[in-house]
A and B are shown apart, each in its own frame.
Chain A
């Protein structure tokens, strides 16, 4: 090969040599042979061969990466997708064919929300396999809780929201707050301890555990295993109310009842006092109706009994006998009356007859009747009287006393 005169031919190296040199240079650097690097996945492409090629970017810099199939399969790396924040473990090498420095990944971990999500999925799968989310484990919530335990932060608006709901819906209830941290690294243990505390105290009929809305990281405590375990070992039914409607936490899956928000949790925990008012009123009504029916029944029975009694009473016999007696008496009277009037008729007839034969009629015509005063006998001939006898002559209108002359 010809080199111009102004170049020292012995100092010129071929591309191959340079590439090999670069390769060696990188490969001899211990740091570069086992390094973690983090950035965002882009231009990701997995070939039918199973090798995955992508670019790891961060700020203005980027480095091409390759994740060979064999490396992927023996690692715990998730399937990489564009936009994922990942940390890669691997080595840096020079790929002479393309003339570029390349990162050869051996393992990959998700970072940030992605990492949280992965942990979430792993814990969820593990607890589900253990049966912690089973429907048979869910206990019914008490219909009429007297005491409600609340696990949340005293500082949070969520507590105020819950108390407002309870005050409005069901002020009969007593609230026992077991304060806890609800975010940060100490929150999971704090929540678990508060749940245990309420169980130790033992008076709550139901427990609400929750906090208001926040970022995924802020809600993260409710995705920790210690919290899940504390909920599952609670002897008191637990209602979870974490974040907003769209937030689902591990606590939600373990809880006996998942409410979408703290407010919804408080609502689910108690009945509405208005319903109670209606219930009391209804019971009162039922009570009155039952009693009224019962009294009607009794009144009815009484009526029947009285009638039966009257039928069975000796008085009715007496009454009937009395009626018979009255009847007989009446008939007797009628008969007597009849016989009397019959006799009267007869008497009248005889009287008339008598009258027509009466000597008075004869006297009236001017005849007289003479009686001896001594014995009242009628003087019909002379031999009956002697001189000096007192006689009485009866004429039409009276009596004339006379004396028989010598």
Chain B
């Protein structure tokens, strides 16, 4: 879960909510979805908390290949 981007985690969170809305699901499975969903929400919150904009610059080098490097703005 640590690897998930915010978008991925949020999508999974939505999926967990949707899954839990199915009242027919076995309780154990529902509990798993619930715990998973809560962890995902926590992860989302942490990501929002520590998010920092990254800016990179795209360019073409002398061989015509794409290269990308962090952009430093003075």
Contacts and interface: CB of A to CB of B under 8 A. Distances in A.
Interface of A: 144, 146, 149, 154, 159-160, 163, 166-167, 171-179, 197-198, 200-201, 273, 276-277, 279-281, 283-284, 286-288, 290-291, 294, 297-298
A177 B57 CA distance: 5
Contact of A291 (B13, B30, B57, B68): B30
B51 interface: yes
Contact of A201 (B38, B54, B55, B68): B68
B20 A290 contact: yes
B57 A179 contact: yes
A149 B56 CA distance: 9
B71 A177 contact: yes
Interface of B: 5-7, 10, 13-14, 16-17, 20-21, 23, 27, 30-31, 34, 37-38, 41, 44-45, 47-48, 51-60, 66, 68, 71, 73
Contacts of B44: 276, 280
Contacts, number: 106
Nearest to B36: A287
A206 to B, nearest CB: 13
Nearest to A277: B48
A280 B53 contact: no
A75 B50 CA distance: 65
Contact of B6 (A172, A175, A179): A172
A177 B55 contact: yes
Nearest to B54: A174
Given A160-B73, A284-B38, A291-B30, A198 B58 contact: yes
A167 to B, nearest CB: 4
